[in-house]
Amino acid sequence: MKKIFFFLLAALFFCAGCTPKTVISRTYDFERMNRIGVMGFSSPYSGLSGVENLFAKYLIQSGFKVVERAQLEQVLREHNISVSGYLSPSTTRKIGEILGVDVLLIGEVTSYTPTRKELTMVTTRRTESRPVYTQSVVQLPDGSYATYTQNVGTEYTHSTDVQPQEYTINAQVGVIAKLVDVETAEIVWIGSLSQDSSSALSAADDIARSLVKSFTKELSKLQRK
């Protein structure tokens, strides 16, 4: 079972898209998951931070007990515990004991493109038409002359107009989040999603809502079995 689970974890990273890609452990006892500690999400992008707070919001809305990032980091500093990089079982176990949490939510912003403006040149082609007339002079029976006008066709004029046009490209954000058991440092759930929206914050909020919703649905299915 564990081999299958880790195989799915590996496959998950190659399946990012607009719908949540998640894997949940079928062997973990989620009944013991009473409190979730939310860690700060790592991000190499200075323009996007605080994504973990969005996850905390939706976890609370879903009924979970959450120890949010600020409180967690304060306690860790007081106990001189470093959480950068790899989390060993001894570190997660110590965090669990100090904070009374059962699992940790750990995440990473994997991609980020801010909203931007692009300028393109738009070409408009126009065709105008006008009738063409000719005039003729004829002699009437009484010897006088008269002029009459006759339509002999249509003249077409073609023109091209090139103007600059500005358009907006949406922000794009990618996130991977996982729940780690504090006793064993085992990943018991992992999800990834990429999303675009009018702003990076809006895209990140959509990701947090979708991934938490996906987790709660999977958890509900397991608990019904």
For the chain, domain boundaries: 2-115+170-224, 118-167
Segment among 41-45, 86-90, 112-116, 205-209 with least mean pLDDT: 86-90
How far apart CA 129 and CA 207 sit, in angstroms, is 54
| 151 neighbors 132 (Cβ within 8 angstroms) | yes
The predicted structure's pLDDT at residue 107: 92
CATH superfamily to which 2-115+170-224 belongs: ABC-type transport auxiliary lipoprotein component (3.40.50.10610)
- Listed residue (53, 76, 51, 88) closest to 185, CA to CA: 88
Q: Mean pLDDT across the chain, nearest whole number?
A: 83
How far apart CA 21 and CA 214 sit, in angstroms, is 9
What distances in angstroms separate CA 135 from CA 132, 138, 140, 147, 187, one per listed residue?
Answer: 10, 10, 16, 7, 92
Residue in the block written with tokens 């004829």 = 138
pTM, full prediction? 0.71
Res. 187: pLDDT tops 80: yes
- For 78-105, the pLDDT digits (tens) are 777 766 555 677 878 888 888 889 999 9
What distances in angstroms separate CA 76 from CA 35, 69, 186, one per listed residue?
Answer: 17, 10, 20
Residues contacting residue 50 through CB under 8 Å, at least 6 positions apart: none
